[in-house]
Structure 1
Amino acid sequence: MKPAVDKALGRLRASGPAPSPAGLVPAIAVAGLSAGYGGRPVLSDLSLSVPESEVLCLIGHNGAGKSTLLKLLFGLHPPTGGTIRLRGTELVPHPSAMAAAGIAYVPEGRGVFPGLTVKENFRLALWSAGLKGGEAAARTEEVLVILPRIKEFWTKRAGQLSGGQQQMVSIGRALLSRPSILLLDEPSIGLAPKLFQDLMAPIRALQQQRGMTILLVEQNVGEAFAISDSVVVMKSGQVIERGVPADFADHARLMELF
């Protein structure tokens, strides 16, 4: 791990436990954030805060920069400007440091290893997190209680599963680390609304039980709003509106924002 990342992570660990939901320090805060690809800007001077212990749904047109933002927050793409703070501590994100700090990321497109069985996908995630023995078994059982349908295809190769089953495996694998912050990128892709509800309902229940923070990027706004505490609308790399789900109940107005 790079020295700068080690130092930032050390400051983060020294900062103590996360504040209560009523606290003033957000789980994640970015200010003046800019990024792009090959000289083409995607995010431009973006500022955003994600409250502790809430589900924030990030919506916007294709290309608005939503997925890019999640990649920046997990350290998968470098910003060209601005700052990122994790519970008040400024740092340069790096995947290993963010994972160690309790952040899990589920990418768009599920990201399972298709040639491995579901059990092997879980074992790989546990190994990566440094979990073994009784602790690994306990974490596995914990996830299988939250998402019990995974047991039905436990020994099947992930590449043979349906889209909904793969998404369940991908999210379950992320939950093995007991994250305090979960970054979810388009979990409903390829899923019928009912399947999306069945997938997200236990995640919402777990979030409320543990006080987990979730940043959810989603195009299926109706279903996503049902499990969200707040909503942020992005357009052309910037935040243009923020509110609670009820503020966006007018479908016509919502489409104008896109």
Structure 2
Amino acid sequence: MSDTALEALGLSAGFGGREVLQDVSLTLKAGEILCLIGHNGAGKSTLLRVLFGLHRPSAGTLRVFGATPASYTPAALGAAGVALVPEGRGVFPDLTVDEIFGLALWSAGVPSSGQKERIEEVLEVLPRIREFRTRRAGTLSGGQQQMVSIGRALLTRPRVLLLDEPSIGLAPKLFQDLIRPIAALRQSRGMSILLVEQNVREAFAVSDRVLVMRSGRFIFEGAPAELDDHAKLMELF
């Protein structure tokens, strides 16, 4: 198996004639947590949408564990082992947590005989979900909805997890309690994680490497410790 989980080469993408990503290339190593930061509008969410097949690039190529996906669609990227936790959670407010999980398992083509095992795997990582499995997602707190969104992604047993701003609307302590067990999946499952995050202190604590994006391009790559100097960090923004 390739030691590179996700490789993007020369990606460009935009909306309505406006270019958002400009010749972007990145490598996510197997078992690595890579943190992507940058100012609002830098192109971070667009990049994750392209990497999950929600937005087709105008140029560039993508490989997952050394193989080119069958197509640039969520179904093909999901089959290749990629999962996305979108910004804003994206849960169905009128469905219960169990119904959301059931829909995700059906969409992933998991047979009914294996669904209970998948759910138990998620509950081992995020045990607090047990407390509100029968509640409608619209009645849950922001932190609870985020757990559901992450749990839904983990049901597919991804090898690459794309996390888009998971701390939005969460207290720092709650985000810490949420990100630590997710980061631990690197050891227990060999999962690779691309984390887009503005809470740099907590994100850097679990990351191996940092990329900084500005105006659709990468302007810095290095270890989190290289950005311990707050003044240097602010210069990059």
- TM-score normalized with structure 2 length: 0.97
RMSD: 1.1
Paired residues in the alignment total 236
User: How many Å apart are 1:28 and its aligned residue?
Assistant: 1.2
Q: Give 1:59's aligned residue.
A: 37
Identity %: 67
Q: 1:127-166 alignment to 2 at 5 Å?
A: 127-166=106-145
Task: Give the match for residue 76 of structure 2.
Answer: 97
Deviation at 1:32, TM superposition (A): 1.6
Counterpart of 2:204 (choices 216, 225, 230) is 225
- Map of 1:84 onto structure 2: 62
Question: In 1, are the aligned partners of 2:143 and 2:170 still within 8 Å (CA)?
Answer: yes
Q: Which moved more, 1:84-93 or 1:226-235?
A: 84-93
Residue 203 of structure 2 is aligned to residue 257 of structure 1: no
Using the alignment, how far apart are the partners of 1:98 and 1:42 within structure 2?
A: 21
Give the TM-score normalised by structure 1.
0.89
Q: Distance in 2 between matches of 1:213 and 1:238?
A: 22
Partner of 1:50: 28
Q: Provide the C-alpha distance between the structure 2 equivalents of 1:233 and 1:112, rounded to a whole number of angstroms.
A: 29
Alignment correspondent of 2:160: 181
Shift of 1:88: 2.2
Q: Which residue is equivalent to 1:30?
A: 8
**Structure 1, gaps ≥5 residues long:** 1-17
Structure 2 runs not aligned, ≥5 long: none
2:97 corresponding residue in structure 1: 118
Q: 1:147-169, CA deviations, whole angstroms, 9 ceiling, x for partnerless residues?
A: 01001111110011010000000
Instruction: Report the more deviating stretch, 127-136 or 93-102.
Output: 127-136
Name the CA distance, whole Å, in 2 between partners of 1:178 and 1:133: 16
User: What residue number does 2:149 align with?
Assistant: 170
Q: After TM superposition, which residue ranges in structure 1, 4 or more long, deviate above 4 angstroms? A: none
Q: What residue identity is the alignment partner of 1:65?
A: G
**C-alpha separation in 1, matches of 2:105 and 2:10:** 36
Q: What's the CA shift string for 1:40-64, capped at 9, x where partnerless?
A: 1101111111111101000001111
State the secondary structure of the residue aligned to 2:206.
coil
8 Å CA contact 2:35–2:207 kept in 1: the answer is yes
